[in-house]
C-alpha cells in the first residue's frame, strides 16, 4: 500500500529544500501530481492532503477522472501528446495544456474553448534534442509559434515545457533545463510574457528547480508505480 499522504509531505519537503538550495522561495515551485494510470482513490487521497494540481496524459482517461472528481476543487493539466482530433474535449475539460507544439493545435484549442470558461493556460513543448521522432517545437521554430499563440484570445500563453532524455548526473540533467530557461528569457526579452517553466519529474526535479522550474511534474515518487 503506497501512502500518498506521507509521500506528498516528503516530496513537498524535498521541493522546498531544492528551492532553498537554488535560493528561490519554496512557493516558487508548484507540484503537479501526475496521476496517469493511477486510481481515483489515490487522487482523492492526495486531494484530501491538500494537493490541487493533477496531470493526465491520455484524453479519455483524463476526462473520466475529471468527471469523477467534480465534487473536488481540482486543477487539471493535460501533459500528454495531443492529437488534433482530440482538442475539443481537452479544451472543454482541462485548465492547462503543457504540450502544444503546433499552431494548428493551438488554434483549434482557442476556437473550441467554451466562452463561459476562462482562457485555457498553455505551455509550448520544446524538443530540445531535435530528434524528429519526438514531440515538441524546435528551438528555431519556437519564437514564431510563441508570438502567434500569445495572440490567441481564448488561450493564455504561460511558458515552456520539456521532457528531456533521462540522464544520471546532476550536471547533465541541468543542461536541457538551462536551455529551456534561456529560451523563456529570450522570449521575454522580445516582449512575450511568460511565467512558467514546466520541467522536472521524479528523477530530475532537483536539477530542474536549480534551473528555475516553476512546475515540476511528479508521478511515481508520489503515487508509486503505474498500473
Among 11, 19, 33, 34, binds ligand PLP (CB under 6 A): 34
Residue with Cβ nearer ligand PLP (91 or 218): 218
Among 201, 207, 210, 213, binds ligand PLP (CB under 6 A): 201
108-126 burial, b if ≥16 CB within 10 A, otherwise e? bbbeebeeeeeebbbbbbb
Q: Residue 178 CB, nearest distance to ligand PLP (Å)?
A: 19
Residue with Cβ nearer ligand PLP (210 or 216): 216
Q: Residue 221 CB, nearest distance to ligand PLP (Å)?
A: 6
Q: Does 126 bind ligand PLP (CB under 6 A)?
A: no
Q: Does 218 bind ligand PLP (CB under 6 A)?
A: yes
Contact positions toward ligand PLP, by CB under 6 A? 34, 36, 57, 79, 163, 201-203, 217-221
Amino acid at each position: 500500500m503506497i501512502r500518498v499522504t506521507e509521500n506528498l509531505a516528503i516530496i513537498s519537503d524535498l521541493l522546498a529544500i531544492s528551492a532553498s538550495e537554488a535560493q528561490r522561495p519554496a512557493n516558487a515551485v508548484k507540484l503537479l501530481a501526475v496521476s496517469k494510470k493511477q486510481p481515483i482513490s489515490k487522487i482523492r487521497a492526495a486531494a484530501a492532503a491538500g494537493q490541487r494540481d493533477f496531470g493526465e496524459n491520455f484524453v479519455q482517461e483524463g476526462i473520466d477522472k475529471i468527471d469523477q472528481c467534480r465534487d473536488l476543487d481540482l486543477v487539471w493539466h493535460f501533459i500528454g501528446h495531443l492529437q488534433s482530433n482530440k482538442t475539443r474535449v481537452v479544451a472543454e475539460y482541462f485548465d492547462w495544456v503543457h504540450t502544444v507544439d503546433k499552431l494548428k493545435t493551438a488554434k483549434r484549442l482557442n476556437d473550441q474553448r467554451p466562452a463561459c470558461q476562462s482562457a485555457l493556460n498553455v505551455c509550448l513543448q520544446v524538443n530540445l534534442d531535435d530528434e524528429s521522432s519526438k514531440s515538441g517545437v524546435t528551438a528555431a521554430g519556437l519564437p514564431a509559434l510563441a508570438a502567434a499563440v500569445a495572440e490567441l484570445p481564448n488561450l493564455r500563453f504561460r511558458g515552456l515545457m520539456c521532457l528531456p532524455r533521462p540522464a544520471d548526473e546532476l550536471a547533465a540533467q541541468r543542461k536541457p533545463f538551462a536551455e529551456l530557461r534561456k529560451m523563456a528569457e529570450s522570449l521575454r526579452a522580445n516582449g512575450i510574457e511568460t511565467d512558467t517553466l514546466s520541467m522536472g519529474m521524479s528523477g530530475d526535479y532537483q536539477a530542474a528547480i536549480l534551473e528555475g522550474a516553476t512546475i515540476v511534474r511528479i508521478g511515481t515518487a508520489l503515487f508509486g508505480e503505474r498500473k
